[in-house]
């Protein structure tokens, strides 16, 4: 993965989101995602809201992150009613609206965007097809699924989509993690498969035959 981490920018986005979103309450996923997106200096944040209603905490955090990185924030909603409700809630919270709020089928909208480096899918069921269709950045990306369960069993089952998310593409999952924040976060870090990143660097290995005492050196 070639995204470069900046702890200073992450801290600023985290603190800004805490001030705007919580009013002294315990931090949650909004602050965490704001810090992550800002810390990796992402340039295209795509947020997919697959169900109407719900809070805008995540959106607030992503908007704060975009402000710190100078990146774009695009939100995809299911229908016009959801779009109006979303815009109203963001304006009431006095936070910057995404550059674009798109109404449409999430899979198609995401497929039409280029160089996505931070993709968040919110919903009650997996968004594997959305992740698979995304045209991710050549420098790597972070994929986030929000909407699972805090229980370990449910969290483990919701990770099923990561294995097939980037199959057949020029990208690969570097690592994934489950976090019990809010309703659960499933996060995958994706790196570039440029023909070099999948290969481990060659190294010299030294072995000694315990019976003969002979030393063997070979390169793997």
- The reply to whether 88 falls in a domain is yes
CB 95 within 8 A of CB 117: no
Residue 56 lies in a domain: yes
Question: 2 lies in a domain?
Answer: no
Is residue 162 situated within a structural domain?
yes
Residue 32 lies in a domain: yes
Residue 51 forms part of a structural domain: yes
Tens-digit pLDDT profile for residues 204-219? 555 555 566 565 555 5
Domains held by the chain: number: 1
User: Residue 161: which residues within 8 A CB-CB, separation 6 or more?
Assistant: 126, 127, 128, 131, 145
**Does residue 1 fall inside a structural domain?**
no
Q: What is the pLDDT of residue 23?
A: 55
Whole-angstrom distance, CA of residue 135 vs CA of residue 155: 26
Contact criterion met (CB below 8 Å) for 101 and 83: yes
Query: pLDDT tens, 91-148?
Result: 998 888 999 999 999 999 999 999 999 999 987 666 788 888 899 998 889 999 987 5
Backbone angles phi, psi at 86, to 5 degrees: -65, -50
Specify the CATH number for the domain of residue 129. Answer: 3.40.50.150
Residue 54 in contact with residue 124, Cβ under 8 Å?
Answer: no
Side by side, the strands of the sheet bearing 72-77 are: 100-103, 72-77, 44-49, 118-122, 141-146, 185-192, 171-179
Give tens-digit pLDDT for 155-164. Answer: 444 444 576 6
Q: Which domain holds residue 159?
A: 7-219
């Amino acid at each position: 993965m070639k995204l470069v981490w900046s702890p200073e920018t992450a801290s600023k986005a985290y603190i800004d989101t805490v001030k705007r979103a919580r009013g002294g309450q315990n931090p949650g996923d909004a602050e965490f995602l704001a810090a992550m997106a800002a810390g990796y200096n992402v340039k295209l944040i795509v947020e997919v809201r697959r169900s109407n209603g719900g809070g805008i905490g995540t959106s607030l955090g992503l908007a704060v992150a975009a402000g710190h990185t100078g990146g774009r924030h695009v939100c995809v909603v299911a229908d016009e009613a959801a779009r109006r409700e979303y815009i109203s809630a963001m304006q009431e919270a006095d936070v910057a609206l995404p550059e674009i709020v798109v109404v449409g089928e999430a899979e198609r909208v995401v497929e039409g965007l280029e160089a996505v480096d931070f993709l968040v899918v919110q919903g009650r069921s997996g968004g594997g097809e959305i992740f698979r269709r995304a045209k991710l950045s050549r420098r790597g990306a972070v994929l986030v699924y929000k909407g699972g369960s805090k229980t370990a069993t449910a969290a483990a089952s919701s990770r099923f989509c990561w294995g097939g998310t980037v199959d057949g593409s020029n990208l690969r999952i570097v690592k994934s993690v489950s976090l019990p924040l809010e309703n659960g976060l499933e996060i995958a870090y994706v790196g570039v498969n440029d023909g070099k990143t999948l290969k481990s660097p060659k190294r010299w290995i030294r072995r000694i035959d315990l019976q003969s005492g002979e030393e063997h050196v070979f390169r793997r």
